[in-house]
Amino acid sequence: MVVQMGILLAVVIVLACSIGVLFISKKIHIPFIIGYFITGIIVGPFGLHLITEEQVAILAELGVILLMFTIGLEISLKNLLSMKKVVLIGGGMQMIITTVLIWAALQLAGLPSNTAIFLGMMVSTSSTAIVLNIYQTKGQMATKHGKIALGILIFQDLAVVPMMMLAPILAGPEETNLLGTVLNFVVGLGMLGIILIAAIYLVPKFLQRVALTRSSELFIISIVTICLGIAWLMSLNGVSLALGAFLAGVAISESDYSHEVIGQIMPIRDLLTSFFFVSIGMLLNLTFLAQHLPFLLILAAALIIAKLVVSFISVKVIGMATGVALLSAFGLSQIGEFSFVLGATGYSSGILSDNMYQIFLAVSIMTMIMTPTMISIAPKFVDRFFPTPVPEGPGYSSPAGSVEDELPIGHVIIVGYGLTGHYVAKALKKVSIPYVILELNPETVSTEKKLGENIHYGDASREGILEFAGIKKAQTIVVSIPQMDTTKAIVTTARRMNPKIGIITRSRYISETAELYRLGADEVIVDEKEAALQIFHRILSNQQVPVQDFDLYAKQARNEIYDKYIEMPINSNLKLNTKGGKFEIVRMRAKQANEMLSKNKSRVEQIRVEKGSKIAGKRISDVQLRKNYGVSVIAVRCAGKVDAVVSPDGDTILNEGDTAVVIGDRDSIASMMVLFAEKIE
């Protein structure tokens, strides 16, 4: 009980301190990872000594497992192959050259060869989490240098797998254990092959069956079971849990549900991963840092410059322009978070000494702290010394498993592929507007994908799913699902992620519209209102009421509807341009958003010939309604008479008070209405 309370107290202390540190970090634009390091330094044994590393060790290890798992999820083997030039040549050269240079320098400094090689591998990686966070914030993910940096970062993440497997061999085991270590290495590689085969055949089929149950609880339990289960199986062969989790992620990445898995697991991963980075900060000895600060600063600067030069050469070799190569190199100049995973492995296996590990921790954190500044000054540096415009060219695509780079800026996201979503997609296709569909029915996803639709399985209320669908560069999101709680969550998330996006949503009841507008929706189409007005229209049509009267009655009904229901405060961001204040703005927005009724290809309307109208007293053939407007008169009922003349000829005269029954599309009838309107003196 005492141990449990100690762990609970440690968690509370870490989270409470993280809130303050991350709040300040957000204000001064420091990446969250750096904030976690600082939190660890503050609460750790070399700071205020509030907790020990052992108290958060379990949570930190779970964080590493989930971090490796999600990295595996985000790696698409197909996309990696499509940009093999950047990934294999650029990424391979960058890591090999960096490792060799560090190894040579440390050999000259007198370090053992195995330690020098291991440190070279650790230094060769860059921070995927920090770089991608900054690129996304600055809108540089879709740039050429952003894609190149991302490709190399993914290659580095992949390279962590064999490096972790090599750690026991580099540790220099006893002669009796060497054969077993090599066998474990070979078995691990064999398991990797098995997992990749499972990625193609077994895991996607299993997840499809789970998705068919429509149970989010069963889906998340299956994800965690696959992650931890494969990690455990790998650990039986001497492979680390983190490596096993990575392979589990790779297995799921090849299924249609990988982005949904990311959306489900990401909040848990972010929480537990924070404990890992906090635990790293707790290991940093402040006394050691203070005693060797000048040396550590010089070493950190030297490593940044060395990695910048090596990364520049690696990108330049694959044929990229100088400006692009430099921008990519600035982004790759730090040491990455996976180096801490490697470092922990090397420290526990005896490859790294205490002093060596402290030097590594201090230098790595320093390079990470410098990353935002490096990326910020990169464009200015390139513009000053290499001002030649960099042409964009083909030859690669993003490996992140997102559809964002496949769509141009201004696409539409359709949430839900029921009847409404189907017709929205059909209309967008006719006018050549690109779109992506998010749907939670796996059968629909499977069927429509075979028919060529750009449809994906995912819950659009999750940030990871909207990120996958390219929310930040989308023009509009259409929420066509009937579930109101989910719709509200989607509207809130979409508005937060892209304040400029247009949000059109569906609502079953009029009473829900005010809340949707308050949450950020731009237009709300109400099922209840549309049904009521359509029924109202049919009733009046059956009673032979002219369309002008129907429009008048419909407007009155619409006003009464919104006067009754739109009685809630509106988002304070709206400008108060009307005398009616906030309530009037909501009412006006609701009326404007719902002004359009359903448009049928052709419709029948009854129109009264008003007093002094342009058509009054004229023959049907004189106004040529079919030729000029595409509208045909199919019946005429004279004023004061019950019976109507069906299929009137061209000589039929339309007098004031007569009612003409016409057929045509809505727009054509609307444009023709001016002929029947009353003359205003």
Give the pLDDT confidence of 164-223 residue by residue, as tens digits. Answer: 777 777 776 544 455 665 666 677 667 666 766 766 677 777 877 887 887 778 888 888
Closest CA to 570 of 517, 526, 521: 517
Question: Contact, 435 vs 412, CB < 8 A?
Answer: yes
Average pLDDT value for the chain: 76
Predicted pLDDT of residue 591 = 45
Q: Are strands 412-415 and 659-664 parallel, antiparallel or unpaired?
A: unpaired
pLDDT confidence band for 48 (50 / 70 / 90): confident
CA atoms within 13 A on the CB side of 631: 27
Predicted pLDDT of residue 8 = 78
d(CA 579, CA 584): 8
Q: Answer whether residue 389 shows pLDDT above 50.
A: no
Give the pLDDT confidence of 626-653 residue by residue, as tens digits. Answer: 788 888 887 788 887 766 776 787 888 8
Q: Which residues of 610-639 are buried (b: 16+ CB within 10 A; e: fewer)?
A: beebebbeeebeebebeeebbbebebbbbe
Opening angle at CA 538, ends 674 and 530, nearest 5: 85
Predicted pLDDT of residue 400 = 42
Query: Does an H or E element contain 385, and which?
Result: helix 354-385
Query: Does an H or E element contain 488, and which?
Result: helix 484-497
User: Quick one: tokens of 468?
Assistant: 């996958």
Sign of CA dihedral 303, 309, 312, 313: negative
Least confident range from 139-153, 209-223, 434-448: namely 139-153
- pTM comes to 0.54
d(CA 204, CA 210): 10
Q: Answer whether residue 680 shows pLDDT above 80.
A: no
Residue carrying structure tokens 């964002």: 404
